[in-house]
Structure 1
C-alpha cells in the first residue's frame, strides 16, 4: 500500500512575530516599533496576513493527506520525502531557500502579501490551494522546470542553488583562487576579488542582475527555464600576481567552471543561506555548472 501524499508547508517567521517573542506581548512589540519610528500597525497587519494565509492553506489540505510544517531556519534539518508536495507560503526568496533541499518534488508558491512581492516564484493565492494540491498529485502536473546551479568539491561536498552560488570569504576579506572558465583544460587566471557568483535565469532577477548592471556586461541574461548559467567575478583586483581578464561569462549545456582555492579558507553558499555553506581550504578544487535536477514549480 502506497503512502498518502504529505503536504509540507514552508514558512518564515515574520519580524513582528520575532519581536513579539522577544518582548513578551503584542503591546510591547508595538511599543518597540513605535519608539523607533516604525509603523507598528502595518507590521502587525502583515503578520496577521501571513498567519491567515497559512491557516487557509492548511485547511485546504485533503483530510486523508499527511501534513508537516517547517520554518525557514529549520530547512537544513528537515527530511523531505519523495511523495511530498511542497507548499511555500511567503515570499519569492523562500522558494529559493527550500529548492536546494528537494529532489524533484512539486512545489506550490503561495503569496502572503500580493502587491508587495514580485510574485516570480510565489505565483498563486491562498484560494487557489485546493485545486493546486489536487493537481500536484497528477501523473504529469503542469509545471515549469527551473534550472538550478551546482557546486561540487573534490572531497564530494555538493551544493545546489536556485538563484546563485557564491564562493568567497565569509568576511569582507579578499578571496584568492585560480579560475578555469572552461574547466581544468581551459585557460586559467590567478585572481584576488570579492568573490565569484554563478547563477541561473531565476537568479537573474536578483543579485546577478545587480552585478550585471553594475559591470555593464551587456548581452542578455537567461530566463528561469533556460539551461544556461552566467558567472561574474566581483571586484577583481589587478596586481603583478593576479589578473582581471576573466571576470564574466556563460556556461551552456554541460559546460563547467573550475576554481582552485588559494586562500586559507573560502566558503560556498547558495541563495543567501550562509549557515549551510561548504568550507573550502587551500588547494581544494570545486566545479560549478548546471545541476542535474530542476525545481518543479507548479504553474
Structure 2
C-alpha cells in the first residue's frame, strides 16, 4: 500500500523573532529599533501576518495526509521524501533556498505578504492552499524551472535555482583556470573577485546586474529555458593572468570548468554561503545545467 502524501511546510523565522533572540524582550527590541528611527509596530504586524498564514496553510492540509514543518535554517538536515508536496510559506527567496534540497517534488509558493513580495515564485494565496494541494497530487500544471549545478572532482555537488558563485572566502583575489569542460584546453589563468553562473530565474537579480554592467547584447535566459549565462567579476589583466574569457553561455550538455590555483575557493548557491563547497589548490569543479528542475505549481 502506498504512503499518503506528506505536506512539508517550509518557513523562516520572522524579523520579530530574530529581534527577540538578539535583545531578549519586546521592550528592548522596541528600544533598539526606535534608536534607529524604526517602529516595532510594523515588525510585529508582519510577524502576525506570517504566523497567521502558516496556521491557515497548516489547517488546509487534508486530514488523510501526513504533515511536517521545517524552518529554513534546518533545510540542510531535513530529509525530503519522493511523495512530499512542498509548500513554501514566505518570500520568493525562500523557494530558491528550498529548491537545492529537492529531487523533483512539486512545490507550491504561498505569499505571506502580498504587495510587499514580488510574487515571482510565491504565486498563490493562503486561501487557495487546499485546492493547490489537490492539484499537486493530481498532476496539475507546473513550470519546470532550470537549475544550475556545480560538481567538484571529489564528487561534492551543489544545486541552485538562481545562481552559483565561485570566489574567495573573504576580500582576497581568487586565482584559477577557466575554460570549457571536456576539452584539451587547459583554460585561461585568471585573477578576479569570482565567477557567477546564473539561470533564467536568477536573471532578475544578481545575474541581471552583471549583464547590465557589461552592456551585454546576449538575451538573458527565461526561467524554463535550458540555458545558463556566466560572468567573471572584475578580472585582472597581468603578465600571468588574462581577461579573454569573462562571459558566456551554457546550453544542454555544455560545461564550464574552473581549476583552483589559490589556497581556497568557496562555491555557494542562492546566497547561502553557510552551505557551500570548499575547494583547495588543484581541485576542479564543473558548472552546467542540472538534470533536476524545480517543479513549481503554476
Secondary structure at the counterpart of residue 274 of structure 1: coil
Query: 2:43 aligned with 1:79, yes or no?
Result: no
Distance 2:192 2:23 in 1: 42
Q: Give the TM-score of the pair, scaled to structure 2.
A: 0.97
Match of 1:136 in 2: 136
Match of 1:280 in 2: 279
Q: Deviations over 1:77-132 (max 9, x none)?
A: 11111111100011101000010000000000011111111111001111111100
Match of 1:125 in 2: 125
Runs of 4+ in 1 over 6 A off after TM superposition: none
Secondary structure at the counterpart of residue 190 of structure 1: strand
Aligned-pair distance for 1:21? 2.9
Aligned-pair distance for 1:69? 0.9
Match of 1:154 in 2: 153
Distance 1:279 1:216 in 2: 32
Match of 1:224 in 2: 223
Secondary structure at the counterpart of residue 75 of structure 1: helix
Which residues of 2 match residues 119-268 of structure 1 at below 5 A?
Answer: 119-138=119-138, 140-181=139-180, 183-186=182-185, 188-268=187-267
8 Å CA contact retained: 1:144, 1:298 = yes
Query: 2:30 aligned with 1:33, yes or no?
Result: no
Distance 1:28 1:52 in 2: 24
Q: Give the TM-score of the pair, scaled to structure 1.
A: 0.97
Distance 1:39 1:218 in 2: 45
8 Å CA contact retained: 1:183, 1:287 = no
Secondary structure at the counterpart of residue 243 of structure 1: coil
Gaps in structure 1 of 5+ consecutive residues:
none
Q: Deviations over 1:129-180 (max 9, x none)?
A: 1100111111x22100000001111111111110111111111110000001
8 Å CA contact retained: 1:164, 1:271 = yes
Match of 2:95 in 1: 95
Match of 1:62 in 2: 62
Paired residues, number: 298
Match of 1:114 in 2: 114
Match of 2:13 in 1: 13
Gaps in structure 2 of 5+ consecutive residues:
none
Match of 1:45 in 2: 45
Distance 2:212 2:182 in 1: 26
Aligned-pair distance for 1:186? 4.4
